Amino acid sequence: MCGIVGYVGKRNAKDIIIDGLKRLEYRGYDSAGIALLTDKGILVRKRVGGIANLENLISDENLSANVGIGHTRWATHGAPSDVNSHPHTAFNDRISIVHNGIIENYAELKHMLVKEHKIEFKSETDTEVAAHLIGLHYEETGSLEDAIFETAKEIKGAYSIVAVAADEPGKLVAIRNDAPIIVGKGNGENFVASDIPALLGYAEEIYPMGNSEVVVLTEDSITFYNSKRKVITHNPLDVNWDIDAAEKEGFEHFLLKEIFDQPNAIRETIKRRLDSKGNINLEGATFTKEILDDINKIYIVACGTSYYAGLVGKALIEKYVKIPVETDVASEFRYRDAIVDKHTLFIAISQSGETSDTLQALREAKAHGARILSIVNVVGSSVARESDDCLYTWAGPEISVASTKAYTTQLIMLYLLSLYMGITKKTVTKKFAKEFVDELLAIPDKMLDYLNNAKEVEKLAVKFSDKKQIFYIGRGLDAHVAFEGSLKLKEISYINSFAIQAGELKHGTIALMEEGVVTIALSTQDALISKMASNMQEVKARGAYVLAIAKEGNDKVKDHSSYTLFIPRVRDEIAPLLSVVPLQLFAYYFAKANDRPIHKPRNLAKSVTVE
């Protein structure tokens, strides 16, 4: 959601902050602002709209400062506007803050501030409440970190705040509470940001922050405090992302680049989980036979694309590990009194590791005694840190709001996890697992080859780009991939797309099939080909186009479709890794043909850190 960048050092803070904010654009935002500590006090500039608007605003000013904070806002309290944009100021404009997340008790605090302190609010934001509280405490204590510690006692919610004070130049103070903040260490300069890409190429080392911790940065010191104000240390994160990985490398959009990143991301994710003999090694999640025998139920809980990966995971674990698995979207799990105890394994899947719904569901399961395993892409993120065991995917930075390589690498982790558990529980043989892994190892080349020859997908996406709705159907694993394909299309093209298990069509949705309708039918599961053939015929018989996705060699599928896209031949269980690719490309080219802002789809944020 919102993005934060802060800098203290000797360089021009404005340039570093604006560059960092641009690298966080993918998170989604509607306004941008900056506060710089100058000789004349704190100078704040902010504008609704893109960072370009902010740059235009300050283009004629000679803004030179060595300390500053910047923010991209995704509106929660108060509409997108100049005045509601961050940074916000208090204490006669001698304190300025940026804030991510939500102050849940802002209304009562605002009432108190107006009534007891006669404060006049400029904006409708919850952030300004925090700014004034910090301002009041600053007046009492004269120390920015003291003021922030005091404010933290009063505000409730998930938030991260970074503040500067005109009377303490050369200092940044940040607090983290359930909303991400990382700290970057440089040579004679230090940084804070809400996400790693902002600091790539600037910081030499990146440090995580725990909940309720405060960090004080000067150009040559970083001091972390826990909530009891005790000085603590953190180890730097092992971030293997580089600046190139976070840039477009000649692709028109991050989405297309990340679709093409998948072969490499998959290769990395597998490679890091195999030992020298090719055996699966899940360091970070060591499940002994005793532990697995004690688990009688598994929940896989996630949101959006990660949830759809989880649906495939359920099928794999039930098939290879023989433990019943329930899947749930995180926002539902939290409030439905799910049956969880110490014999439950709770698997959270999250690209960002900061999705509020997933994090809260994880905590709920933990409170009921479940063992927590997470599959996460962002190293050191909240979900990863709050889990008993964490398996990182190695997708690299996923910038595009529409998730692609996170999904396929999550699938890889789910394959490896289910095989590893199966071997440990002796529900699959080592020989079977080895053959399976060999087939997974061949996927990157097959996928790359497919990607380089996928012109047909683009042609079909353009051909159908005037359609106002598209249906997706499939059976078994194909149904799960259909949901993911449909989500991709609606996110970036803004047209209605609807996915349904093909066998369910006849129970209602078939009423919508008529001349001109387009239905994408996944038929990659050999065992279900004849069933899918009937479903495709039902659709075609009503005048709709059927665009089938089938495995090479299954030519018969052509008899039941209007168009057929063939993916390389793999075993049924592995097909989701490849069948999702034409769906990702279809969504991309469809949105492009409709001139949609693929880079910044409306209303969406990359990392959903509010409930």
Judged by the rule CB under 6 A, the positions of this chain that interact with ligand M6R are 303-306, 350-352, 355, 358, 401-403, 487, 491, 604, 607-608
Known active-site residue 390 = no
Beta carbon of residue 351, minimum distance to ligand M6R (angstroms, whole number): 3
Q: What is the dihedral of CA 202, 203, 209, 213, to 10 degrees?
A: -90
Beta carbon of residue 460, minimum distance to ligand M6R (angstroms, whole number): 21
Q: Based on CB atoms, which residue is closest to ligand M6R, 54 or 181? A: 181
Q: Based on CB atoms, which residue is closest to ligand M6R, 151 or 306? A: 306
Q: Based on CB atoms, which residue is closest to ligand M6R, 125 or 350? A: 350
389 within 8 A of 284, measured Cβ to Cβ: yes
Beta carbon of residue 27, minimum distance to ligand M6R (angstroms, whole number): 11
Beta carbon of residue 507, minimum distance to ligand M6R (angstroms, whole number): 27
Q: What is the DSSP code string of 150-205?
A: HHHHH--EEEEEEEEETTSTT-EEEEEEBS--EEEE-SS-EEEESSGGGGTTT-SE
Within 368-476, residue ranges assigned H as helices are 382-385, 405-425, 430-441, 443-452, 455-463
Describe the chain by its helix, strand, coil percentages, rounded to 5.
40, 25, 35
**Residues in Cβ contact with 198 at an 8 Å cutoff, skipping those fewer than 6 apart:** 3, 5, 20, 21, 23, 24, 191
Q: Based on CB atoms, which residue is closest to ligand M6R, 69 or 489? A: 489
Residue owning tokens 């940040």: 174
What's the length of the chain?
611
Known active-site residue 303 = no
3-state secondary structure of 558: helix
Paired tokens of 126: 């919850």
Beta carbon of residue 527, minimum distance to ligand M6R (angstroms, whole number): 29
Paired tokens of 340: 């969880």
Q: Based on CB atoms, which residue is closest to ligand M6R, 305 or 424? A: 305
CA-only gyration radius of the chain, Å: 25
Catalytically annotated residue among 2, 46, 171, 551: 2
173 within 8 A of 148, measured Cβ to Cβ: yes
Beta carbon of residue 74, minimum distance to ligand M6R (angstroms, whole number): 13
Measure the CA–CA gap between 252 and 300, rounded to whole angstroms: 35
Beta carbon of residue 491, minimum distance to ligand M6R (angstroms, whole number): 6
Q: Based on CB atoms, which residue is closest to ligand M6R, 274 or 604? A: 604
Measure the CA–CA gap between 282 and 187, rounded to whole angstroms: 36
Residue owning tokens 């600091």: 199
Closest CA to 373 of 337, 446, 321, 336: 321
Helices (H) and strands (E) in the chain, counts: 18, 24
Beta carbon of residue 485, minimum distance to ligand M6R (angstroms, whole number): 11
Please identify the residue of the shown chain whose CB is closest to the bound ligand M6R: 304
548 within 8 A of 576, measured Cβ to Cβ: no
490 within 8 A of 402, measured Cβ to Cβ: no
542-559 burial, b for 16+ CB within 10 Å, e for fewer? Answer: eebbbbbbbbeebeebee
Beta carbon of residue 606, minimum distance to ligand M6R (angstroms, whole number): 7
Q: Based on CB atoms, which residue is closest to ligand M6R, 378 or 428? A: 378
Beta carbon of residue 364, minimum distance to ligand M6R (angstroms, whole number): 16
Q: Based on CB atoms, which residue is closest to ligand M6R, 97 or 489? A: 489
Measure the CA–CA gap between 381 and 387, rounded to whole angstroms: 10
φ and ψ of 222, to 5 deg: -130, 120
Q: Based on CB atoms, which residue is closest to ligand M6R, 10 or 602? A: 602
HSE (side-chain half, CA atoms, 13 Å) at 50: 11
φ and ψ of 392, to 5 deg: -80, 140
470 within 8 A of 485, measured Cβ to Cβ: no
Count of other CB atoms within 10 angstroms of residue 283: 10
Helix (H) or strand (E) segment spanning residue 593 = helix 575-593
Beta carbon of residue 353, minimum distance to ligand M6R (angstroms, whole number): 7
Catalytically annotated residue among 22, 185, 551, 606: 606
- Angle formed at CA 70 by CA 66 and CA 71, multiple of 5 degrees: 175
Beta carbon of residue 121, minimum distance to ligand M6R (angstroms, whole number): 32
Measure the CA–CA gap between 449 and 321, rounded to whole angstroms: 32
Q: Based on CB atoms, which residue is closest to ligand M6R, 87 or 485? A: 485
Q: How far is CA 89 from the centre of its chain?
A: 30
Q: Based on CB atoms, which residue is closest to ligand M6R, 131 or 266? A: 266
Closest CA to 259 of 56, 417, 403: 403
Q: Based on CB atoms, which residue is closest to ligand M6R, 200 or 383? A: 383
Q: Which residues are catalytic?
A: 2, 606
